[in-house]
Amino acid sequence: MLPVDGIPTPEDIMAKMPPPERLARGPVVMVECFQQIPCDPCTHACPRQAILPMKDINEIPRVDYEKCNGCGQCISVCPGLALFVVDLTYSEEEALVKLPYEFLPLPAEGQVVAGLNRAGEEVCPARVVKVVATEKMDKTAVIWLAVPKNMAMEVRHLKVKPRGTTVICRCEDVTLEEIEHLIKVEGVRTLEEIKRLKRCGMGPCQGRTCLPLIAREIYRLCGTEPDSLAWPTYRPPVIPLKLGVLAGGGSDDAQA
């Protein structure tokens, strides 16, 4: 219960739910503000005046759901971080939740993060569809999360998964989690792609350390046969050389 542990009850949430017919028509705001407090910025934030004006600033905000188009502009204005937008029509399997986020680092678009419920428990993986963080929003970013449809009314926060401590590429500082993400989520299948996306193989070791490790992950996760996996092109120099040496054709140390 909110006053006892900070978690709204299912009844609290029911009372804040937009009408089902409106939810069925696309993105719409959900105002999770449950207490009469002296606060009114939300009522000034909506360009369509969907959050209704208050006579007294202690009123609980009310919404005209017909006026709301789910744009999400109001989200970053609320000091209580109590405004969300839910879109149940986002795709066949997924719903979209737009939520306020004030932590660094911001997640990247495309990244898979943990979706947290109102009790702070991880309930599902969530894919970052968009990160909106303009100057005007003054450091309250709005994150668009794609979540399984049945989680649309559950996910209200996110956790960026730690980057992990198993390093695959020491030159470019790339971890196992990042490689796994590229393969499992982004659908990357070749060493060449990983080299271009993460620079693995382009550092001082020229791929001696990382490429075999990455290849092993591709075999493991995709079932690729070792001899069917193309190795990136080896270009000279095969070990790092000073540019001066290459350009001058001799040793610049000798001249110094």
Partner 1 sequence: MKREVRFAEIAVVGGGPAGLCAALEAARAGARVVLLDRQDHLGGQLIKQTHRFFGSKSHRASQRGFKIAEALTREVASHPAVEVHTGATVFGFYEDGVLGVEQKGRVFYLKPARVIVATGAAERTLAFPNNDLPGIYGAGAVQTLVNVYGILPGRRVLMVGAGNIGVIVSYQLLQAGMEVAAIVEAAPVIGAYWVHAAKVRRAGVPIYTSHTIKEAYGKREVEGAVIWQLDGDGKPIPGTEKDLAVDTICLSVGLSPLIELLAQAGCRLAYVPELGGHVPLRDENLQTTVPGVYVAGDAAGVEEASAAMMEGALAGLHAAYSLGYGQQDYEARRAAIREQLEALRSGPVGEKIRRGLSKAIIQL
Binding site for partner 1 (CB under 8 A): 2-8, 32-41, 43-45, 56-58, 77-82, 102-104, 116-121, 138, 140, 156-157, 159
Rule CB under 6 A: is residue 51 a binding residue for ligand SF4? Answer: yes
What is the torsional sign of CA 118, 157, 154, 24?
positive
Q: Which is nearer to ligand SF4, 42 or 210 (CB)?
A: 42
Rule CB under 6 A: is residue 33 a binding residue for ligand SF4? Answer: yes
Rule CB under 6 A: is residue 30 a binding residue for ligand SF4? Answer: no
Residue 31 binding: pick among partner 1, ligand SF4, none (C-beta 5-8 Å cut-off by kind): ligand SF4
Distance CA 85, CA 67 (A): 14
Rule CB under 6 A: is residue 86 a binding residue for ligand SF4? Answer: no
Looking at residue 78, its amino acid is C
Residue 8 binding: pick among ligand SF4, partner 1, none (C-beta 5-8 Å cut-off by kind): partner 1
Provide the 8-state DSSP code for 174. Answer: E
Rule CB under 6 A: is residue 39 a binding residue for ligand SF4? Answer: yes
Residue 195 binding: pick among ligand SF4, partner 1, none (C-beta 5-8 Å cut-off by kind): none
Residue 48 binding: pick among ligand SF4, partner 1, none (C-beta 5-8 Å cut-off by kind): ligand SF4
Q: Smallest distance from the beta carbon of 26 to partner 1, in angstroms? A: 25
Distance CA 217, CA 212 (A): 9
Phi, psi for 112 (deg, rounded to 5): -100, 125
Q: Which is nearer to ligand SF4, 80 or 164 (CB)?
A: 80
Distance CA 196, CA 193 (A): 5
Provide the 8-state DSSP code for 137. Answer: G
Distance CA 246, CA 241 (A): 7
Distance CA 57, CA 50 (A): 17
Which token pair is 224?
A: 């690729």
Contact partners, residue 108, CB within 8 Å, separation at least 6: 128, 131
Q: Smallest distance from the beta carbon of 245 to partner 1, in angstroms? A: 44
Q: Smallest distance from the beta carbon of 163 to partner 1, in angstroms? A: 14
Residue 34 binding: pick among partner 1, ligand SF4, none (C-beta 5-8 Å cut-off by kind): partner 1
Distance CA 145, CA 131 (A): 9
H or E element at residue 131: strand 122-132
Rule CB under 6 A: is residue 76 a binding residue for ligand SF4? Answer: no
Residues in contact with ligand SF4 by CB under 6 A are 29, 31, 33, 39-42, 46, 48, 50-51, 61, 68-74, 78-80, 82-83, 85
